[in-house]
Chain A
C-alpha cells in the first residue's frame, strides 16, 4: 500500500532559524499531498496542500512543493517562531487505479518541532 516517511525528530531550532522537514512518499497513481499541524492538546489543522506535480502549497510562511520525480513534499519555512512549536504530519490521499479516492489519508509518523526564543 501507499506510505509516507518523514524525517526523524524531534527538531529543535532557535527563533528565526530556517526549517526543513523532509517527507517522501510511495504511492500508485497521483495522490494529493498534505501537511497538517497538531498543537499540544489539539486536533489536526490543515497547513497546506498540493494536488499535482510541481504544485507549491503555501500558508503562514510555510511552503512545500510536490516533486513527482523525487516523490517528495518537503516542508520549509524561512524564519520560525516560538509559536510554530508543534507536531507536523505529512500525509497523502490513497487512490485506486482509476484515480478515485479511498477516502483515506495515510500519514507519516510526525515530526516534533520545538522552537526556542
Chain B
C-alpha cells in the first residue's frame, strides 16, 4: 500500500513569491493535515481538511491557505513568502474520525 506522497521534495523561492505544495493521502483516507517543522520551533499544526472542508486551523496568518480536492488530495499555498517560512512542510492523512495520522516525507521550502 502506497503511503502519503508529497511534491515537490524541495522548493526554492524568493521573498514575496507564492509557493504551492501538494499532498496525496493514503488510499481510503479522507482527512489531510498540514504541519510546519521550522528549525528550532518544532512541529506546528497548520490545517486540517476532511471531506473537502477545512475543519481546523492552527495559529498561522491567512497567507497560509489550502484546499482539498474531490479525490482527497490537498495543496497548501503560502502567499507573500517570508524568510521565516523556510521549513519542512509535512502532510499527514487518516481515516475520518481516526486519531492516528500517517505522515509523508515532506517538502523542504527554502525562501531566499
Contact = CB atoms under 8 A, between A and B. Distances in A.
Interface of A: 32, 34, 36, 42-46, 49, 51, 89, 91, 93, 101-110
B43 A89 contact: yes
Nearest to A101: B99
Given A103-B33, A104-B58, A46 B100 contact: yes
Interface stretch (B63-71, B74-82, B101-109): B101-109
B90 interface: yes
Contacts of A44: 43, 90, 92, 103
Contact of A103 (B48, B102, B106): B48
B103 A36 contact: yes
B42 interface: yes
Given A43-B105, A89-B43, A110-B42, A104 B48 contact: yes
From B4, B48, B58, B100, name the one whose CB has the most chain A CB atoms within 10 angstroms: B100
